[in-house]
Amino acid sequence: MSEHHQEPHHGLALGSILGALLAISPTIIGLIVVLAGLLGIGPQAKHDAPVIDNAAIEERIKPVAEVAIAAPIAAPGQGKSGEQVVTAICSACHAVGALGSPKIGDAAAWGPRIAQGYETLVKHAINGIRSMPPRGGSTSLSDEEVAGAVAYMANKAGAHFKAPPSK
């Protein structure tokens, strides 16, 4: 009687252990797969991230990037000459006539602009006008530095502006 009573109980216990093993085996397999992936040995390890061709992207955005990036060229208090400012900042556009800017040395392009007068040109260079960004995009430039750069560029195209002394 007691044996009969024990057997089903025994079978049940065995069954539930097997059942439990079966139930957690997907978890174990899953863990192994994850671990293998972490160790770089599973099939997932061959799954490379898409290759981003930085050079190609840089090439594509180059004209915009060259125009947009105008690094500060001087610590505050250290005035740069008009030529230095033009070389470092303004020439990014004005050397090549980017965005329709008057090209350095192009008297025909600068003529009507020079006719506006030095003060107006300086004001436009400081505040920006149409596609011309304020201070050529280099906000750390002082008014004097911008004025010096305007004189330098305009004089290259036939003006005789006298830049204020740079501070």
Give the whole-angstrom CA distance, residue 160 versus residue 144.
Answer: 17
What are residue 128's phi and psi, to 5 degrees? 90, 150
- Residues between 55 and 94 with contacts to ligand HEC, criterion CB under 6 A: 67, 70, 85, 89-90, 92-94
Contact indicator for 90, 153 with CB cutoff of 8 Å:
yes
User: Please, what is the minimum distance in Å from the beta carbon of residue 100 to ligand HEC?
Assistant: 5
135 binds ligand HEC (CB under 6 A): yes
| DSSP-assigned letter for residue 43 | G
What backbone torsions phi and psi does residue 93 show, to the nearest 5 degrees? Answer: -105, -45
Instruction: Identify the residue among 121, 157, 159, 163 touching ligand HEC (CB under 6 A).
Output: 121
Binding site for ligand HEC (CB under 6 A): 67, 70, 85, 89-90, 92-94, 98-102, 113, 116, 121, 124-125, 129-133, 135-137, 141, 146, 149-150
